[in-house]
A and B are shown apart, each in its own frame.
Chain A
């Protein structure tokens, strides 16, 4: 194979290019801003759903707030509202960074991002008003799905065009993961919508396609994007190249070969070959999961050699022009000395939020995947199927793995916008709160699920006994949800504040342009990004004046 390969992200980059970051500013704010909003919405909805278990009478008169609508709405708001747009934004950013080419035609992803968030709004309103399709993870009614599909196509096409136009031709493993993910979503989403909603197939084929779709979206798509992202950041954090390039490609191929067949539960009322094949594939999926674990472990070990890139944490705080050239002496030498390190890092010791988020995300990936694989084994499935163990696994995958990884990546946004994170301390606080929230939500629910399953398998105990046994665990997980809600609010606060600061600066600049017409040319030159967007604002200002 004669492909150029890149074994370390940005290895050949001499200096960071501010033009690249500037070109991504508006699209990323559009994608991440909406994502942050839906993230908060999702945890509020999840909170309402959770309260129902402690007080079943809580709004019993309101059809919009019934459990069967609120719970799927919360799940979909997290997946479609936050996870997918956040992943797409990070993919755009990584393509531009790795390809060393600024994003062209930034207005297209901005429009697509707005369209996507509109689709989520339509879909959630559809679920809450009783127009859900009735298929797990595909509840959005047709209008919402169509909008989402076209918004995705637009974003993915733009990302692919940007990928094709990259200046650095060498490919890094993250490219493989992200390109496969970009390509896979339209396929599974259109298949599921056409065969389940538009022209529904007969009988249990619906259920089979539903499981295939949910498994591929929740496990494969999220894994491709999340792991692709983590493989970009891990070498930057540790200063070691990815360990190793070939193991990463091995993980990639085994993931798409085996992971795509997971998802049909062993006890399903379908022809026996389907669950057997699916369980077999699930067991083989241990291979990519362990490969990812090995890569993460080997890559993030602290090296004694000075890091490849000076000041790997610096991008978090440093404003855009300074970039990674933050004042940081030979990194490997300061590593042991936490006090020295704390003096020039915004977050104190080495556990800066991005690094902590991504590490926690990878640990959750390994754990949640192992839980998924365990649930595919017939013996274990007899206990865990139909219990809270399943929702615990899903939450660990969606929030513990994917959302946490995305938080880590998105907190590097300040470099893109060219401002400091408005509340860096809150980012650090969010890390601890969200982590505690995930642990407190997932752990009791998983244990409660196993207990519920054992009690359900004992016909001597009444069904209500089994249900009541889970209520104790539910108290913990509701507390966990409350923490997750607070963490999400802190995240949204930082993102919204950053957007606000940026918009304020735009208005200020525009105001300067209006009040000092002679300096127009020089001021315009200092606004490198998205002339269309700035221009509109400037014109608005002129009209007002």
Chain B
């Protein structure tokens, strides 16, 4: 079996190559990653989630939310938008010039060229970089998701299916109270929603001496019978806190935007 050994070695190398490429190399490149600073400021990013939100990630994992929701926004490119900040000494000339120029959807070069023309006429402009793509147009995020966004998550819940909307920035779109209503009765806040209700995260109980301050204020068709109230269990509050903490809006070196 002299050849057998060499064949085994060749198979070992062929299979192990992918291990080096997709396990070892990414770990060497990113395994020691630290917080980064946001673009044009000294703020560090990402800051860890508060404790309750971190607990909420484990509720998110336990209930397999990632089976239907992604946490990654894609962008197809960037575009520049130019705004006039100062019309200068000769506003009419600048206004005439502007009406002949394209101001949105520019590439960086076009924006710079137009900006030069306006400053030659005495006006001052600002160039804003915005991300483009269907996900951005849907309002799911201001920029694409990048590796930095997931630094503190364990497990990282990128998801692979959008049976429900992307959640990368759900914290910027809805508050914790909305989340609780949505978890208890999705149809009460999103008409026609196909999300299954998560009623087991809530307790329907008789109202005691006075109603709980945490009780959900549900629309009548979803409300419990009179004399009862719906109170979120700790898991529901944690999950809502986690969802509210999901926001990736700051500009980064890897994903430059100017908000």
- Chain A residues packing against B (C-beta within 8 Å): 1-3, 52-53, 56-58, 60-63, 66-69, 71-72, 130-136, 176, 179-180, 183-184, 187, 191, 195-196, 200-209, 211-212, 216, 253, 256-257, 260-261, 263-265, 267-271, 274, 277-278, 382, 385-388, 390-391, 452, 456-459, 463-464, 467-468, 471
Contact = CB atoms under 8 A, between A and B. Distances in A.
A528 B150 CA distance: 60
A391 B67 CA distance: 11
B200 A68 contact: no
Contacts of B150: 203-204, 207, 269
17 contacts: A1-B3, A63-B63, A66-B200, A69-B63, A134-B66, A136-B66, A183-B12, A187-B19, A200-B155, A202-B32, A204-B147, A261-B22, A278-B22, A386-B159, A458-B134, A459-B138, A468-B194
A67 B68 contact: yes
A355 to B, nearest CB: 30
B106 to A, nearest CB: 20
Interface in B196-219: 196-200
A263 B164 CA distance: 23
Contacts of B70: 386
Interface centre among B22, B146, B164, B200 (most CB of A within 10 A): B22
Contacts of A260: 14-15, 17-18
Given A66-B196, A69-B63, A180 B15 contact: yes
A206 B61 CA distance: 14
A532 B153 CA distance: 52
A233 B155 CA distance: 43
A271 B62 contact: no
A200 B30 contact: no
Given A61-B199, A69-B63, A204-B150, A274 B192 contact: no
A253 B165 CA distance: 41
A1 B68 CA distance: 52
Nearest to A195: B23
Interface in B132-183: 134, 137-138, 144-165
Interface in B82-108: none
Given A1-B3, A391-B161, 12 more contacts: A134-B155, A180-B15, A201-B31, A203-B152, A205-B26, A257-B17, A268-B158, A269-B158, A271-B30, A385-B74, A464-B194, A467-B194
Contacts of B192: 464, 468
A56 B64 contact: no
B244 interface: no
Nearest to B65: A68
B195 interface: yes
Contacts of B126: none
Contacts, number: 204
Interface residues of B, number: 69
A390 B159 CA distance: 12
B67 A205 contact: no
B232 interface: no
Given A1-B3, A191-B23, A270-B26, A256 B14 contact: yes
A56 B186 contact: yes
Contact of A68 (B27, B66, B162): B66
Contact of B195 (A56, A200, A265): A56
Contact of A67 (B16, B31, B67, B138): B67
B223 interface: no
Given A187-B19, A196-B155, A267-B74, A68 B161 contact: no
Contacts of A388: 161, 163
B199 A60 contact: yes
Nearest to A463: B165
B21 interface: yes
Interface in B1-56: 3-4, 7, 11-12, 14-19, 21-23, 26-27, 29-33
B33 to A, nearest CB: 6
A202 B151 contact: yes
Contacts of A212: 18-19, 22-23
Contacts of B156: 203-204, 206-207
B72 interface: yes
Contacts of A63: 63, 200
Q: 4 nearest interchain CB pairs?
A: A68-B64, A459-B137, A260-B18, A130-B62
Contacts of B193: 56, 464
A180 B11 contact: yes
B136 to A, nearest CB: 8
A134 B15 CA distance: 26
A114 to B, nearest CB: 29
Given A2-B3, A52-B196, A60-B198, A269 B147 contact: yes
Contacts of A52: 196
B19 to A, nearest CB: 7
